[in-house]
Structure formats: C-alpha cells, structure tokens
Structure 1
Amino acid sequence: MTHYIEYRLGPTDDGKEVLFLMQKVLGFTTKKVRSVKHEEWGILLNGERVTVRARGKEGQLLKVMLEDSQEKQNKIASTKMNLHILYEDEDLIFVDKPAGIVSHPSKGHLSDSMINGVQAYFENEGREKNERSNIHLIGRLDKETSGILGIAKNSVTAERMIKQRQRGILIKEYYALVKGNPPEEGILEIPMEEMRDARDGDKLKMKVGQSENAKTAKTFFQVVKRFEKFSLVSLVIETGRTHQIRFHMASIGCPLLGDSFYGDGPELGISRTALHAQQLTFTHPFCEKVMRIESEMPKDLSFLLR
C-alpha cells in the first residue's frame, strides 16, 4: 500500500512552489525530492499529479509519496528470524534485539543480522503493510548489547528521527550492571579515539582522546540499585560513540560486568557485556504523539537482580 505524507496549505503558503513546501515545510532533502518527483503519483495537489514547480493555494491538500526506491532494499539478504516486535506502524518498527546478534550486515555477518531478519519479516508475515517499506536503522546496538532497535520504513521518517536525536528529543535509556560502587549520579565528558586492540589487531578499542582525531563524548548516569558486588545503573548518552558507555564506565573504575574489552570478562554468571537498551522516548515524526517504547531486561542479566 502506497504511503503518503499530507499537508494542508495555510494562508502563508498561498502561491508558494511545491518544491519550497516539500523542502522547507515537510523537510525533504534534495535527493528525496529528486527521487519522488519521477514517481507516477509521487506528488499530488488536491488529488492531481503536479510538478515541483506548481504553485499551491490556501486550503489545498499536498500529498507526497514516502516510499523509497526498492533497488537498494532488494540487495539485503532475507533471513527468517523469530522477531519480537515491540511496536510497529506504517512509518516505524521497533524490535527487541537479543545479545549475540549484530544490528546490521557487515563483514562476516552478511545474512545473520537483525536487519536481515526485518527484511524477511517485510517479505513474509508483514508483507501486506510493508510492500514498499525500506529499512533505515535509527542507531545501532553492539553485538553483545540487547534491547530496543529502531528502524524507519522510509527516508523521510529516518531523517526526522535523526534530527530528533540530534536535538535531544529522542532519548534512549540503557541499563547496565557495573562493578563496584559508582557515584550516585554524574556526567562523564571524556573524549574518545580509536586504537587497535593489542590482542587482536582486527578489533577496534577506545582510549582517552588526546590527538586531533579525538571525539567528544557525553554520558549521563544514575545508580538505580546497589548490590554487594555490582550496581544497576541507568545511562543516557548525548553522543553515540562506539563503546561509549563501556569505555566511560570503565574510565571511572566501574566496568560493565562481562565486558572482555574494558573489564574482566565473564563473571558472576554473566557471559556477555551487561548492557541493555531499556527505554526509548521520542515524538512521532508525523502525528507528533509522545511515544515510549520499553524492553524488559533479558533473563541472562535479570537473574542477578532478584
């Protein structure tokens, strides 16, 4: 089913070009405008197909197709998985990622990522409502991290969600089990830069940034509950650097349980990095409703909290 974004022209829109309305009001990029204007029913004004140079009138309804070209989408391998869908509508889908699965196809994981599973879902069970949906990842999770993974179904939705993240409207909260007793709450602003792991030169590791390649990184944390040998901590990151939470917590002497890179590896029955994307809040990019997506902490971590 073809999906459109709709906009009713107001008094200030009278006489303005469709191109102006698409870019300045609806937020379409030049690339997206170029793509949709060649679709047979890509741009409609009061139900009539128009070009981007047409001028609108107050009260008219502008409808622009949201679907992307299927060329890129068809290159993604389809691998059936038992997906746990947390929320889905015609613009977005959020799935619960288990630990041990990568977020997107990469070297060595061309067909066993979460994206491959979502592609299979779009082609099979969800085919009726996703016939022309595309996959745009909204922030990835490391292989060992579990929790909420967000995907936009078209490029306009993706662009709007990315802008929300940049403006601090989209907020992802993580839960982590960390060693020791961190301060009750705090803000970590430790610059980061990449280095090669001494034990495995193919793996990237982070260090305190001191060169011109260093990137700023900001993490907010708060202790939720303390236990004898570890603490449950809530974290929100303002920047999304590789390994940011793991590196920042290790930098204050509180590495995540199970972290073989920045901590002591498996311990207390935890065999993977104890990090879970627990909650995501944002404003829906079209209906502007405040949304909250939640994911329960999986049993391989929650057993320690009993």
Structure 2
Amino acid sequence: MKKIKIIAKKNQKEIRLDKFLKCYIKNISRNQIQKLTVSGQVIVNQHIVKKNYKIKPFDFVEIEISNIKILDHLEYKNIIAEKINIDILYEDEDVIVVNKPAGMVVHPGFGNERGTLIHGIKYHFQNSNLYNFDLYRSGLVHRLDKDTSGLLVLAKNEYSKKYLFKQFYSKTIQREYRALIWGNILEEKGIITGFIGRDPKNRKRMTIFRNSESHKGKYSITYYKVLERFKYLTYVSCNLKTGKTHQIRAHFKYLGHPLFHDSMYGGDKIFMKKKCSNKNIKFLKTCLKILTRQALHAISLSFIHPKNEKCYFYCPIPEDFKIVLQKCRKTLL
C-alpha cells in the first residue's frame, strides 16, 4: 500500500480531482484515479469526495494506491536486498511459492521500509545469480496481511506475472484459508457477500456498506464451511471468490463473528464475556497470549502454471494457531 499526501498551492486553479492528481503521480491514468476515488481511497480534507470534485487552494489530498502495477518503477529499483529467512516451498524458472510467517510485511511502505518479503526475495534472487530480476515486471501478484500466515505465489518474469494476474482477474485461482472466529456461527456452511470498502471512520479498516451505499465499495464473496465447533469459538474453512483487502476479516466482523485476536476488527476481546464462566475467561485469556495476532492462515493454493500445468500447494497451520486449536479441543467441548 502506497499513501501519497498532497497540499494544493494557494494559487491553485479549480480543476477536477483526477486531473490534479495526474500531474503529481506517475504511471497512473485518470480512469484509475476515478476508480480509487469511487472506492474511497482518495480523501480531501479528511472527507471522502466524489470523482467530479474540484480542487481548491490549500486542499489536503490523501490517496492510497494498492495496485502494484501503478507504483513508480524507481521504487522497485531502490529496494535494498536483505538477507531474510524465507520459507520457500517451491521454485522453478517461472514462479516461486513461499510460506509467509505472521508478522512479516509483504511489500515495503510507510513504516515498513525494511525487512519485508520483497527485500528478502531480492536478496534470494541476487544470490541465485538472477541479477536481472526485475521486481517491477515480475514479483507480487497477490498479497497477505502482515499478521496473516501462509501461501503466497510470486512470478519470476513478466510473462508469468501476466499469466497469473489473468487467473486472479478471472477468479480461477483457488485459495483456502483457515480461521478461528468468535461465537457459534449459525449455519454449517454459507456465503458472505457485500460491498467492501474503506471505513470512513478508520482508513486502516475495511467495512461492508449497505446496498444504498454500494458505490462506496467493491462487491466481494467469501464461501465458508464449519470444521469444528467449540464453546465460544468456531474453526472454519474459507474460500475466496474475490480477493479484496481484509476480505475475510471484514466479512466475519460483518456477521458478528470477528476473527480470534483480530485487534483491528474487535477480535482481541473475549466474545460474550458475560456468559463465560471465570474458568473459561481465564482459558481464553491464555489462548489470546499464545496466538497474539488474527487467527487466519492461507492453507492451500491452486493455479495453472505458466507452463499450462495445474499446481496445488498445501501449508499446515503454524504452531501458535495449532496449539490454540489443540487446547480448545481439550477444554472447550
């Protein structure tokens, strides 16, 4: 995520927002700016504005760019290779599949200028004699949140990147996540849908808008299935039909079942605490100390390889998540 802040000059003429931003940001079209504005990723003077808004003197504009294709090419060239331990599950001349640990940021950005997965990937390829590896023309085709663990595929050349992007765009890549959510969800399986976009009250968080406000978000679909039920918690499998920012986290918050220890969406507090016994409150507090981030793991990934072969990868849940599940099986029956 790249965040750009611009203050209009005192002699600024009144012009459309998209035309104004086009003068300041490289490699972005007015159409892309309009789409970002409609999705709530452009705010002026701390307010969401319409795409036909006209800039005035001293306007304070903030724009969040999440599409890696429109980032400045120089940003990638300036990334310094860092020796970082990366769990590589598979690698060939076209793709690399990694198991990202919780706590690792995927891409550098404000507050995360060093120590990201991309820094480590650049080091890995330099030490594999791939000095011509171009992070702009290859690299990321999807992402995981900092505290979400699991499978991530990266492209090693421009052809592979376009080939994988096409599958993400057409929604043919299959991704399964495992999540531990608060409460006893009603249905054994279901579909969560809604228009997802930036929360006007907290720009770091996503929210689901009502149908009447659908223009503020993008349509999103999550399929879920209950795997195990515990007292106060439910272990679920999730499959994404769309892949929006924080989709699973925002969807289960919308249902009233936030992810276990998801501090951004209210999952770091004990759910229905008044109905819990002192013994169970103590147990749940212990679990929160063991699993100190949202209980979300990308467990499997399936796609068509650029060589036209179907690939499937699986990565078991990490130890902190596994320990909490084991404890729940023994205690919360």
Fold-level similarity (TM above 0.5): yes
**How far did 1:71 drift?**
7.2
266-275 or 147-156, which moves further after superposition? 266-275
**Alignment partner, residue 292 of structure 1:** 312
Instruction: Provide the rounded CA distance (Å) in 2 between the counterparts of 1:247 and 1:175.
Output: 15
Question: 2:215 aligns to what SS in structure 1?
Answer: coil
**Alignment partner, residue 185 of structure 1:** 189
Instruction: Provide the rounded CA distance (Å) in 2 between the counterparts of 1:196 and 1:242.
Output: 15
- 2:134 equivalent to 1:134: yes
96-105 or 164-173, which moves further after superposition? 164-173
The Cα offsets for residues 6-26 of structure 1, whole Å up to 9 and x where unpaired, read as xxxxxxxxxxxxxxxxxxxxx
- Please point out which of 140, 143, 152 is paired with 1:149: 152
1:102-141 paired onto structure 2 within 5 Å: 102-124=105-127, 126-127=128-129, 130-135=130-135, 136-141=139-144
* Native 8 Å contact 2:208 2:251 kept in 1: no
- 2:115 equivalent to 1:94: no
User: Relative to 1, partners in 2 of residues 1:264 and 1:167: Cα closer, same or farther, differing over 3 Å?
Assistant: closer
* Native 8 Å contact 2:176 2:299 kept in 1: yes
72-81 or 243-252, which moves further after superposition? 72-81
Pairwise CA RMSD of aligned residues? 1.9
Instruction: Provide the rounded CA distance (Å) in 2 between the counterparts of 1:212 and 1:243.
Output: 18
1:24-63 paired onto structure 2 within 5 Å: none
**Alignment partner, residue 302 of structure 1:** 322
- 2:240 equivalent to 1:237: yes
Among all aligned residue pairs of Structure 1 and Structure 2, give the percentage whose two residues are the same amino acid: 36
TM-score using structure 2 length: 0.65
**Alignment partner, residue 299 of structure 2:** 278
Instruction: Provide the rounded CA distance (Å) in 2 between the counterparts of 1:203 and 1:110.
Output: 18
- 1:184 maps to amino acid: E
Instruction: Provide the rounded CA distance (Å) in 2 between the counterparts of 1:292 and 1:197.
Output: 40
Question: 1:217 aligns to what SS in structure 2?
Answer: strand
**Alignment partner, residue 195 of structure 1:** 199
**How far did 1:144 drift?**
0.9
The Cα offsets for residues 165-213 of structure 1, whole Å up to 9 and x where unpaired, read as 2223211111111111222111111111212445xxx634424252522
* Native 8 Å contact 1:93 1:153 kept in 2: yes
User: Relative to 1, partners in 2 of residues 1:72 and 1:254: Cα closer, same or farther, differing over 3 Å?
Assistant: closer
**How far did 1:162 drift?**
1.2
Instruction: Provide the rounded CA distance (Å) in 1 between the counterparts of 2:96 and 2:160.
Output: 11
**How far did 1:110 drift?**
1.7
Instruction: Provide the rounded CA distance (Å) in 2 between the counterparts of 1:96 and 1:207.
Output: 29
**How far did 1:224 drift?**
1.4
1:71-90 paired onto structure 2 within 5 Å: 73-90=76-93
Instruction: Provide the rounded CA distance (Å) in 2 between the counterparts of 1:294 and 1:257.
Output: 23
Structure 1 unaligned regions, length at least 5:
1-69
- 2:209 equivalent to 1:208: yes
**How far did 1:120 drift?**
0.9
* Native 8 Å contact 1:77 1:110 kept in 2: no
User: Which structure shows the higher helix fraction?
Assistant: 2
**Alignment partner, residue 178 of structure 2:** 175
**Alignment partner, residue 217 of structure 1:** 220
**How far did 1:93 drift?**
0.5
Question: 2:159 aligns to what SS in structure 1?
Answer: helix
The Cα offsets for residues 118-170 of structure 1, whole Å up to 9 and x where unpaired, read as 1111112x23xx34333320210011101112110111111111111222321
TM-score using structure 1 length: 0.70
Structure 2 unaligned regions, length at least 5:
1-72, 270-284, 327-333
Question: 1:82 aligns to what SS in structure 2?
Answer: coil
Number of equivalences = 230
Question: 1:191 aligns to what SS in structure 2?
Answer: strand
User: Relative to 1, partners in 2 of residues 1:211 and 1:186: Cα closer, same or farther, differing over 3 Å?
Assistant: closer
Question: 1:221 aligns to what SS in structure 2?
Answer: strand
